[in-house]
Amino acid sequence: KPFRDQPDYIKGGKLRDFQILGLNFLAHNWCQGRNVILADEMGLGKTVQTVSFISWLIHNRKQQGPMMVAVPLSTLPAWYETFKFWTPDVNVVVYTGNRASREYIRQYELTFDGDPKRPKFNVLLATYELVGTDVEHLQPFQFQFLAVDEAHRLKNRESKLYAHLMSLAIPNKLLITGTPMQNSIEELSALLDFYADSIQ
């Protein structure tokens, strides 16, 4: 059932009509078992639409997580602020810091009793680099959903980021990029290959 108005669990501001349309687009494709590339131009609120969609998964579909949002380091603060502003009830863990800091996060903030099947969080917000560095610590989690910001970074099938994210075997993927094809059709093909697996 499409939204005509903003859901009451999305707080902080007012979604524009085209952003509600984007939320409906993401929700409809999730219900149809399809992964998505969200390719709005810069400045149209791809982050807000994604955060709103994650909140929809939690509130409407009872998908409590765990979920992952993989982002460049430069956009991580903006993502965290967007979650806190629009969806303050979503439990977001920012996975960052040096080795000792990340070990502390893994020990005290991610799970109950160290069991990855009993996560404490809804969303893990992590940089590309730390997904790669700590991929073996993340693989035991059964992530339900993956959003990749600036997903044109996945245009190279041979990249480490591509391999690390694929190794997590996350069934539902959202690729966020205003430029799904920059130089050649092979780049778009690589993105389509990455998200080809349907929801299981």
User: pLDDT tens across 15-60, in order?
Assistant: 999 899 999 999 998 988 888 888 766 666 889 999 999 999 999 8
User: pLDDT tens across 97-141, in order?
Assistant: 999 999 999 999 999 888 888 999 999 999 988 988 999 999 999
C-beta of residue 64 within 8 angstroms of C-beta of residue 143: no
pLDDT: which is higher, 89 or 44: 89
How would residue 196 be classed by pLDDT, with cut points 50, 70 and 90?
low
- Gap between the Cα atoms of 38 and 47, Å rounded: 10
Q: What are phi and psi of 173, to 5 degrees?
A: -125, 140
pLDDT at 193: 63
* Side-chain half-sphere exposure of 37, counting CA atoms within 13 A: 21
- Gap between the Cα atoms of 172 and 36, Å rounded: 9
**CB-based contacts of 94, cutoff 8 Å, min separation 6:** 76, 80, 125, 126
Residue percentage of the chain with pLDDT more than 70: 82
Mean pLDDT on 169-196 = 69
C-beta of residue 8 within 8 angstroms of C-beta of residue 56: no
Examine residue 66 and say whether the peptide bond preceding it is cis (omega within 30 degrees of 0): yes
Residue 96 has pLDDT above 60, yes or no: yes
Rg (CA), the chain: 16
How would residue 156 be classed by pLDDT, with cut points 50, 70 and 90?
low
* Side-chain half-sphere exposure of 34, counting CA atoms within 13 A: 10
Q: What is the pTM for the complete model shown? A: 0.86
Tell me which amino acid residue 181 is: M
pLDDT at 198: 42
How would residue 65 be classed by pLDDT, with cut points 50, 70 and 90?
confident
Give, for 173, the enclosing helix (H) or strand (E): strand 172-176
- Gap between the Cα atoms of 36 and 33, Å rounded: 10
Residue percentage of the chain with pLDDT more than 90: 50
